[in-house]
Amino acid sequence: MPLTLDDVRELDRQDPLATFRSRFTLPQGTIYLDGNSLGAQPSAAVAAVDGLMSQWRDSLIQGWNQGWFDAPERLGDRLAPLLGAGPGEVLVTDTITHNIFKLLGYITEGQRGTEGQRGTEGQSRARPVILSEGGNFPTDGYIAQGFCRFGGFEHRVVPEGEALDAYLDERVAAVVLSHVHYRTGRLRDMAAITRQVHASGGEVVWDLAHSAGALQVNLAACGVRYAVGCTYKYLNGGPGAPAFLYVRRDCQDRAWQPLSGWLGHASPFAFEVDYAPAPGISRFRTGTHSPLAFAALEASLALWQEVDLAQLRRKSQRLIELFRESLGDCLAEHSIADITPDEAQRGSQVGLVEREHGYAIVQALIERGVIGDYREPGLMRFGFAPLYLSHEDVWQAAQHLREVLSEGEYLAPCFQQRGAVT
């Protein structure tokens, strides 16, 4: 039997994470189901950015010696416990795009052996193949293609959802995979796949964009050596917030990374002519970062130190089931496919597919204050961020969707017009 409004309000009264909701700022009357694309604003972020602005005004260039310069490492250490990583293994820096390129270059440079054995042609490499997953978030595949094009590698694609068995061999240098698939929300078995790739002699770079801050990640326990991720989705770092990069401690001094910029130098203020990589995780720095962006992110990461990730995961899954149960049979009535995986195999999102009207349905929901997003072809995505979503929010969102469908609101011409960002 579907839950009533009184039922879900009782769930909210019993919710151990309910107090976190008051620490986020959302527009009045908004039910935000797009935290898998851009997280909500932590209230503390405003004061943090204002404080940085004051520091910039008062300290000027001296601010770099007052906490700005070491922010990539400091925030990396704050983020590490959420990823099952240790101190000195995570660097907050650049974008996922840049960081995948860095790691592919670093991994393949290390595989090429000593200086005298290095060549520039793909044929001279013992492992000339880079694998990525079809249907994955585009940047992962695009960067793999670009890296191969300019580095003399062969790019191969594993069809979406297929096992790696038929594609792994002694020629594969590295595999780029998402822990949680951005479209389907499918959660891969990180430990098993990492063992499989390592047993083949290759390396795997995990993209944690849709899992960091949404579920428990344990890179160390899974034997992961390399990973990337972003902080502006479930981690609520703000639009365009810096990404992060993980390299296990025992893998950190094996090679150069290809974007050998100034701040990745061992002694950047020595202004030496030749590059010498910094020791440890700092060698994965590139250029100058934005202290303003780091201030907003640090405010969010301070909040995250208080979060019980097991409670987060349980609530995430309960919210997803509540949403789906509250929709009942209306999806089938309107020929909408629910592609959400089963609980053990999913992240923290629901995917509904309606190829003809999906975009318009999402726009009609947004008009009602229920914000999700749309991805081609036909995918309506709804992300569940347990820190600021209540059970009542989710129950109400399902009622809105039922009404949008039953009343045909999405057919209005105003919902057919597309913006640059969907």
Q: Are residues 300 and 312 in the same domain?
A: no
Q: What residues act catalytically?
A: 137, 207, 232-233, 381
Task: Please determine, for residue 121, whether its predicted confidence score (pLDDT) is greater than 90.
Answer: no
DSSP string, 115-140: GGG--SSGGG-S--EEEEETTS-HHH
pLDDT in tens, 132-191: 999 889 999 999 999 999 999 999 999 988 899 999 999 999 999 999 999 999 999 999
Binding site for pyridoxal 5'-phosphate: residue ranges? 96-97, 137-140, 207, 210, 232, 262, 288
> What is the spatial distance between Cα 4 and Cα 7, in angstroms, rounded to a whole number?
5
Average confidence score pLDDT of the chain: 95
Q: Are residues 252 and 272 in the same domain?
A: yes
Q: Are residues 246 and 349 in the same domain?
A: no
Please report which helix (H) or strand (E) contains residue 32, including its range. Answer: strand 31-32
Task: Please determine, for residue 119, whether its predicted confidence score (pLDDT) is greater than 70.
Answer: no
> Is residue 22 within 8 Å of residue 6, measured between CB atoms?
no
Residue 213, sorted as left (phi over 0), alpha (psi -120 to 50) or beta, turns out to be left
Last residue of a domain, one of 269, 304, 339: 304
Please state the separation of Cα 318 from the chain's center in Å: 21
Q: Is residue 99 part of a domain?
A: yes
Determine the pLDDT at residue 124: 63
Q: Are residues 225 and 207 in the same domain?
A: yes
pLDDT in tens, 366-403: 999 999 999 999 999 999 999 999 999 999 999 999 99
Task: Supply the CATH number for residue 372's domain.
Answer: 3.90.1150.10
pLDDT in tens, 22-61: 999 999 999 999 999 999 999 999 999 999 999 999 999 9
Task: Please determine, for residue 257, whether its predicted confidence score (pLDDT) is greater than 60.
Answer: yes
Q: Are residues 185 and 92 in the same domain?
A: yes
> Is residue 125 within 8 Å of residue 152, measured between CB atoms?
yes
Q: Are residues 211 and 324 in the same domain?
A: no
CB crowding 61-75: b at 16 or more within 10 Å, else e: eebeeebbbebbbeb
Q: Is residue 43 part of a domain?
A: no
Q: How confident is the model at residue 1 (pLDDT cuts 50, 70, 90)?
A: confident
Last residue of a domain, one of 289, 304, 319: 304
Let me know if 317 is exposed, middle or buried by CB neighbors in 10 A (0-12, 13-18, 19+): middle
Q: Are residues 355 and 225 in the same domain?
A: no
Percentage of residues in the chain with pLDDT exceeding 70? 97
Range of the domain at 106: 48-304
Q: Is residue 33 part of a domain?
A: no
Q: Are residues 174 and 279 in the same domain?
A: yes
Task: Supply the CATH number for residue 172's domain.
Answer: 3.40.640.10
Amino acid at 268: P
When divided into structural domains, the chain yields a total of 2
Residues 119, 123, 132: CA angle, nearest 5 degrees: 100
Q: Is residue 109 part of a domain?
A: yes
Pick from 268, 299, 293, 332: nearest CA to 93: 293
CB atoms within 10 A of CB 339: 13
Q: Are residues 322 and 298 in the same domain?
A: no
Last residue of a domain, one of 248, 277, 304: 304
